[in-house]
């Protein structure tokens, strides 16, 4: 499999250095994610914060896209959604996720084009994974395309990551700066009405979120 184009990628982030989206480990992500990791990547308090954001913002009965998904989606267990589509890197992780009704393995750094029609989803989420995206604007524009206008897009993250796989700009920033970076990704992709959430316990993993609403589609 070929590597993504050398940075700067075709549609990259204006104002950031050309190497902002490089990783310490330049090997294809498929090699890193070949082994399933059936673990939680954040502690129970941070997971509870994610669940509470999802409970508040994801309408029951909606069709959800869980991007960069694994064996857990952190959706409130007592709420039934119409469907939950998971896109991730490891087939065993996705197979073990009981919330998913559709599963697809796709490397978004190799191919940021999502395999769905316009307006297919009512909500989208990326949980503790946005730091691995090397082509965030392309991916976020694709999310805007597959979401119905005014649908909610929630990006949650903590201060944990696989450092060799996080992009350089993520490693250079922290906390609220990550919120600003993700908000900038969303703005560049057309998301509107951006809001943020912060959960910072004295002991335990912090959890930040950036939330946006999908834009209306421009006429063809």
Ligand X SMILES: C[S@@+](CC[C@H](N)C(=O)[O-])C[C@H]1O[C@@H](n2cnc3c(N)ncnc32)[C@H](O)[C@@H]1O
Distances (CA, A) of 72 to 3, 27, 95, 126, 135: 28, 26, 10, 12, 24
Q: How many helices (H) and strands (E) does the chain have?
A: 6, 7
Dist. CA 114–CA 92, nearest whole Å: 21
Q: Is the dihedral of CA 1, 17, 190, 152 positive or negative?
A: positive
Q: How far apart are CA 92 and CA 77, in angstroms?
A: 21
How far apart are alpha carbons 108 and 192 in whole angstroms? 23
Rounded distance between C-alpha atoms, residue 214 and residue 124, angstroms: 10
Nearer to ligand X, 43 or 107 (CB): 107
Q: What are the φ and ψ backbone dihedral angles of 153, each rounded to 5 degrees?
A: -120, 120
End-to-end CA gap in the chain: 34
Footprint of ligand X (CB under 6 A) = 29, 33, 41, 68-70, 72, 74, 88-90, 93, 107-109, 127-129, 132
Q: Which is nearer to ligand X, 51 or 173 (CB)?
A: 51
41 vs 102, which CB is nearer to ligand X?
41
**In this complex, which beta carbon is closest to ligand X, that of residue 50 or of residue 215?**
50
Question: What's the min distance (Å) between Cβ of 220 and ligand X?
Answer: 29
Minimum distance, C-beta of residue 83 to ligand X, in the bound complex (Å):
17
Closest approach, Cβ 142 to ligand X, in A, equals: 12
Between 136 and 212, whose beta carbon lies closer to ligand X?
136
**Among residues 12 and 129, whose Cβ is nearest to ligand X?**
129
């Amino acid at each position: 499999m070929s590597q993504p184009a050398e940075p700067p990628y075709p549609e990259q982030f204006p104002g950031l250095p050309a190497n902002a989206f490089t990783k310490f480990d330049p090997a294809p992500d498929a090699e890193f994610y070949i082994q399933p990791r059936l673990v939680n990547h954040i502690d129970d308090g941070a997971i509870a914060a994610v669940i509470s954001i999802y409970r508040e913002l994801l309408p029951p009965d909606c069709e959800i896209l869980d991007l960069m998904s694994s064996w857990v989606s952190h959706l409130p267990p007592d709420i039934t959604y119409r469907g939950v589509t998971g896109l991730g890197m490891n087939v065993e992780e996705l197979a073990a996720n009981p919330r998913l009704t559709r599963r697809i393995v796709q490397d978004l750094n190799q191919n940021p084009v999502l395999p769905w029609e316009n307006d297919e989803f009512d909500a989208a989420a990326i949980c503790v994974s946005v730091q691995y995206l090397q082509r965030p604007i392309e991916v976020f524009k694709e999310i805007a395309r597959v979401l119905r206008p005014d649908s909610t897009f929630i990006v949650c993250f903590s201060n944990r990551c696989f450092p060799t796989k996080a992009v350089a700009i993520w490693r250079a920033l922290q906390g609220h700066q990550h919120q600003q970076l993700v908000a900038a990704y969303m703005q560049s992709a057309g998301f509107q009405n951006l809001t943020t959430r912060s959960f910072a316990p004295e002991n335990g993993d912090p959890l930040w979120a950036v939330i946006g609403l999908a834009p209306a589609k421009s006429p063809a």
